[in-house]
Structure 1
Amino acid sequence: MFKSTTCIAAGLAAMVATSAAAEGELNIYSSRHYDTDERLYSDFEDATGITINRIEGKADELIARMEAEGVNSPADILLTVDTSRLERAKNAGVLQTIDSAVLEERIPSNLQDSDNQWFGFSQRARIIFYNKNAVSEPPQTYADLADPKYKGQLCIRSSTNVYNQTLLASIIENAGSEAAKTWAEGVVANMARDPQGGDTDQLRGVVSGECDLAVSNTYYFARAIRKDVDGVSAERDVIGWVFPDQDGNGAHVNLSGGGVAANAPHKDNAIKFLEYLASDQAQQYFSAGNDEYPTVEGVAVSESVAELGDFKADDVDLSAVAKNLPEAQKTFNEVGWK
């Protein structure tokens, strides 16, 4: 359960070495492109004396680069978004198993790799949004999205989107392959249009009336609460939302996370940085700066995130979910989800 309660900050000093005399560097490959992450890097540098060097790019490109660099790779850490990409990095052999009592204590077991190769540091729930003027009884579960009564009403992203891939993979884990395929077929039948655009475009479709229902990650809507987002913020009062499956498994969450590179030249510094990302201070940055939910329990969320309300998250093991990703993509192809 996520709640906007205030917690006592554990303090950066409790999570990382704070000696001004600390030396060394840290090379981060990151596919997170958020200005607010700058504070994460600068505070870590100030506290430890460790200099951070960054290479930014798309997740698949960074993983391919690490593979090509092999044992000569300068990468110490890979940061990316979604369980699917974290698992892709693991399967590519570009991450390594690490031992950290801090991470084991702070990060819930279902939000980390079973072999300790990646860890989740922030979350976004994938939930249902609807036009309050058009829908009097919105879906309450993911299964409801396939109900024929919502035929022609749903906007959702393409099957190539990692958020949808992980959602279907979690349905496979929770309900089985046959039920997951039937669900995907029903969703395709209920689409108001062919999949197009990002999550914000699905929300714009609800505002414009092109669709009555949409599926989106929470942080896209929370961002429209915190600042102006064209086509959403000015009309956001028309949008209602439902955290699905609150009487069942709970709402599916997507992770943003990272792991230590397989050939990290500064492994100790890399582990320190991951431990810092699990500190109360860093966890609050994820929420305040990018409208995400912390993965560490008890950390306060930002006002924009708190406005969405409390919810029960699906506690399915995301490491197990990741193993269903190939089947999820095959299922999408079989049912004609473009």
Structure 2
Amino acid sequence: MEARPMASVKPRVFWAALTGCLFCSGVSTAFADGEVNVYSYRQPELIQPLLDAFTKETGIETNVLFLDKGLVERIQAEGVNSPADILLTVDIARLVEAKEGGVTQPVLNDPVIQKDIPANLRDPEGEWFGLTTRGRVVYASRDRVTQKDITYEELSDPKWKGRICIRDGQHSYNIALFASMIAHHGVDYTREWLTGLKNNLARKPDGTDRTQAKSIFSGECDIALGNTYYVGLMLTNDKEPEEKEWAGAVRVIFPNAADRGTHVNISGVAMTKYAPNRDNALKLMEFLASGEAQEIYAKEVFEYPVLPGAQPSDVVKGFGPIKPDPLSLTEIAAHRKEASELVDEVGFNEGPSN
């Protein structure tokens, strides 16, 4: 997502392109009491309602640096002088990358976080925890696809030849799914499966999850892989009403609902190793784990709350019930390198070979 000019952004929320500034001039109080500095892989407009609620409740201001990649490397380069307090991510792989990169610190002995976040969504060593979950589902054309059930394994079936769209195979959302296939079936099976999926593509992998819905709407393909929350965002996008048409053209199918369940991923958070505003950072993390924040996430971002008993939005409920694959996210993350290598090995991003 392209960064917007700073003048168009709310006060105290700072966006940066990959070559942009870090907490640009005029933010001389970045280390002052009453503030917390957030490095975010998640688009600012998706987290702004949460940050606004946090500031209203606590009086603590937030500064946000958004980049779509390279935040871990940036924190490493900044070292002990890094202004970052917490890291927000959109994928388990990003959390594992941050931990393995040595830029996080354990905080999960915190009683509030332990109480509110299920154990399977927390790092065993306490260095990150999940905030929300989302399913990696099939978008199916309402007009051209009649079947109501599907499996990930079926996506390599030749009956789908020329009918599937997908974003870049190396994108973290797809790598996590491919890694889950390795965890369930092994490398050899996944190589063959990925080759079959590639040969069923309608075009080269490209675009975003929203693009895949648009391609179904235009008739370029009949099914696609995408995250659940994008459908909610499109269905409610009053600023770009054409997205409502794209989303209205697709039906969400939860793969493997009849057996192991649908692959899910998380958005998550970690405290940075040298957080200069540690107390404020911990307050923000506790808030993000709270019922209030979970309700905001469900309503504004259309993801599934991780707090036991918290309900998704009515829009998301309209997709039908989700049965999450219980496979450990840390186990999935352990296979991400193999998954990435397979994408290159089979030439997935080159698109169908015949």
Which protein has greater RCO, CA pairs closer than 8 Å, 6+ apart? 1
Q: Name which of 261, 265, 282 aligns with 1:250.
A: 261
Name the stretch that deviates more: 165-174 or 42-51.
42-51
- 1:90 paired with 2:99, answer yes
Gaps of 5+ in 1: 1-22
Q: Which residue of 2 aligns with 1:146?
A: 156
- 1:302 paired with 2:313, answer yes
Q: Which residue of 2 aligns with 1:7?
A: none
Partner Cα separation in structure 1 for residue 223 and residue 133 of structure 2: 22
Q: 1:169 to 1:72 in 2, by over 3 A?
A: same
Q: Which residue of 1 aligns with 2:88?
A: 79
Q: 1:42 to 1:130 in 2, by over 3 A?
A: closer
- 1:67 paired with 2:67, answer no
- 1:130 paired with 2:140, answer yes
Q: Give the counterpart letter for 1:43 in structure 2.
A: A
The answer on whether the counterparts of 1:44 and 1:276 sit within 8 Å (CA) in structure 2 is yes
The answer on whether the counterparts of 1:30 and 1:59 sit within 8 Å (CA) in structure 2 is no
Partner Cα separation in structure 1 for residue 284 and residue 163 of structure 2: 45
Partner Cα separation in structure 2 for residue 178 and residue 230 of structure 1: 44
What percent of counterpart residues are identical? 39
Partner Cα separation in structure 2 for residue 116 and residue 212 of structure 1: 42
Partner Cα separation in structure 2 for residue 335 and residue 171 of structure 1: 15
Q: Which residue of 2 aligns with 1:328?
A: 339
The answer on whether the counterparts of 2:104 and 2:273 sit within 8 Å (CA) in structure 1 is yes
Q: Which residue of 2 aligns with 1:108?
A: 118
Q: Which residue of 2 aligns with 1:195?
A: 205
- 1:234 paired with 2:248, answer no
Partner Cα separation in structure 1 for residue 68 and residue 281 of structure 2: 21
Name the stretch that deviates more: 193-202 or 245-254.
245-254
Displacement of 1:72: 1.5
Q: Give the counterpart letter for 2:87 in structure 1.
A: L
Displacement of 1:91: 1.6
Q: 1:137 to 1:48 in 2, by over 3 A?
A: closer
> Which deviations, in whole Å up to 9, do the C-alpha atoms of 1:223-252 show, x marking residues without a partner?
222224554422544422210111222111
Runs of 4+ off more than 6 Å: none
The answer on whether the counterparts of 1:59 and 1:80 sit within 8 Å (CA) in structure 2 is no
> Which deviations, in whole Å up to 9, do the C-alpha atoms of 1:91-121 show, x marking residues without a partner?
2111112222222232222222222211110
Q: Name which of 276, 288, 301 aligns with 1:290.
A: 301
Over the residues paired in the alignment, what is the CA RMSD in angstroms? 1.8
Q: Which residue of 2 aligns with 1:5?
A: none
TM-score, normalising length from structure 1?
A: 0.88
Name the stretch that deviates more: 178-187 or 42-51.
42-51
